[in-house]
Structure 1
């Protein structure tokens, strides 16, 4: 296998010059750079990523942990992370935690042993976990997405779920609905709780009572939305409108409504949350709250790289604002 010394001998330059050309660590004239690159090509030289990482104390690799879910929201965020890594000439190692604390800790340990430059955590079901492992690697920057309170130092990227819940409920009220039910996510999760709090604020602002029979806690999945909607039907007369706290649960609710002959939006208006790609292809197309998923991923990478490059050392909270997307699932009455 060819070495830098072999390239230097063939190109007639020093080994340090070869290193500067290949690693782009110092300006080298175009003529010499061309000689070096041609020699490297002739010798089929392949730089050692491991050797470079040891010398530079950087692997140009980021680790990301994400909880498995059928929700395309996670995939759309990961797409933003991966594309941003590519544009920044970084590699991404993606680990799936399956919502398991021990698996998450094992994955973090593996990634840190592989000397990743930083970590992005998107495991909302594990909010509040105390991760002692970070005490062993205090210099590794961490960015957390979509979590509640944390017991370790990190930057945080999140959407303003309180505002999103408020906007969704306000839209229903502004369309004449005085009966507004809610299928929430798991209320032990920060983002689900904030959407529910936004819902309550909008009702209170417009002097509308909260009917506990029209509120049910679910799990952010399609099956959960379907089962929750069936439970609401069993409880008695439905409200005229329903805020479903993510699009996947809204899809489950729409499916049950169709099966039961409940016409959306003529008999029941439904608004979702997330604006996943398939929301506009549901029947009817789903009015929802848009989360800037690609920008969430991009912001996570940019924030992490700022810590890696030590251009920003203080922990940051980056909050991206949601917006209303009006389609066909809400009726003006």
Structure 2
């Protein structure tokens, strides 16, 4: 690979003069700069991006760390990030898996947006202490180098349970998310509190994992226990879709025997029959706000914690008793 040392030798100038010329410095005359650029072109010189990054201490690249890519949830979230970053001159890299975590300490990224349960709080605080700029979407952490952009999970879960109660349901199931999930924990806590405030009610929790398979397993348990109409709050739409799939070839009908509400209002939920009731928010806005606040944090221009608000979308999957 051709280096600036090779260019200096061919041009008959010092290495520092080549460096100044390649970076457009006024310290080098126009004539000398033209000569050096011509030699660089002749030698097919390619700048060393890693070396340039170390010198400038910036890459204009931001990482989005995700636990996985499974499900329909991430597309709009990432698109919102990408569009906001592009407007501000940054590129986006999508990362998943514990080995990708090393991209932060190795200086490949100017900052990171984290929606990844594989990061521990201690790990993120360590990076923040070292000066790395972070936005977290899946936990509450207090540090001057960390900004939180969180969903209003508790409000959404409260809306969901209150909607089932308004529709006259007194037998309630909640299908939970994976252990350690911040969003699942927040939603479950609010669901329990809402049930307690409105008791006495029949209430049970079924472990889930935010995927269709766990929704299907929950549907099987509800069918096994069935003794009359029941309402189900799935803590995300993927599990609700799994429930639809499990019930479609059985005598049990959604909106008649089993009434279902989800969370996330992913696009496919509007096309299910009957249409799925869900808790809605803008995934693309969540991603855009996260990107905006991270860039503000990187550039030192007043980043702030943000909350993404939610709303109830009614659907025929829940009917009046």
Under TM normalisation by the shorter chain, which class is it?
0.7 to 0.9
* Match in the other structure for 2:287: 297
Structure 2 residue 186 is matched with structure 1 residue 185: no
* Partner Cα separation in structure 1 for residue 141 and residue 124 of structure 2: 15
* Match in the other structure for 1:208: 199
Give the drift of 1:191: 1.5
Give the drift of 1:298: 0.7
* Partner Cα separation in structure 2 for residue 174 and residue 168 of structure 1: 10
TM alignment of 1:1-333, pairs within 5 A: 19=24, 53-54=53-54, 56-97=56-97, 104=98, 106-123=99-116, 125-126=117-118, 128-131=120-123, 134-135=126-127, 138-147=130-139, 154-205=146-197, 207-212=198-203, 214-237=204-227, 239-312=229-302, 316-333=304-321
How does the TM-score come out when normalised to structure 1? 0.76
Per-residue CA shift, 1:258-282, capped at 9, x if unaligned?
Answer: 2222112122221100011211122
| Residues 1:158 and 1:132: Cα distance change in structure 2 (over 3 Å) | closer
* Partner Cα separation in structure 2 for residue 126 and residue 64 of structure 1: 13
Give the drift of 1:229: 1.5
5+ residue gaps in structure 1?
A: 7-14, 22-35, 98-103
Pairs aligned (count): 296
Q: Let me know the Cα RMSD of the aligned residues.
A: 3.4
- Paired residues of 1:60 and 1:89 also in contact (CA < 8 A): yes
* Partner Cα separation in structure 2 for residue 58 and residue 84 of structure 1: 18
Name the SS of the counterpart of 1:72 in structure 2: coil
Give the drift of 1:241: 1.5
Per-residue CA shift, 1:86-134, capped at 9, x if unaligned?
Answer: 222211111122xxxxxx2x312134424311111111x3364421794
- Paired residues of 2:229 and 2:256 also in contact (CA < 8 A): no
Name the SS of the counterpart of 2:199 in structure 1: coil
Give the drift of 1:20: 8.5
Give the drift of 1:152: 9.9
- Paired residues of 2:105 and 2:127 also in contact (CA < 8 A): no
Per-residue CA shift, 1:278-329, capped at 9, x if unaligned?
Answer: 111222221100132111111111111111111126xx43211111112321
- Paired residues of 2:140 and 2:148 also in contact (CA < 8 A): no
How does the TM-score come out when normalised to structure 2? 0.79
5+ residue gaps in structure 2?
A: 5-10, 12-19, 27-33
Deviates more, 1:55-64 or 1:282-291: 55-64
* Partner Cα separation in structure 2 for residue 129 and residue 57 of structure 1: 25
- Paired residues of 2:136 and 2:147 also in contact (CA < 8 A): yes
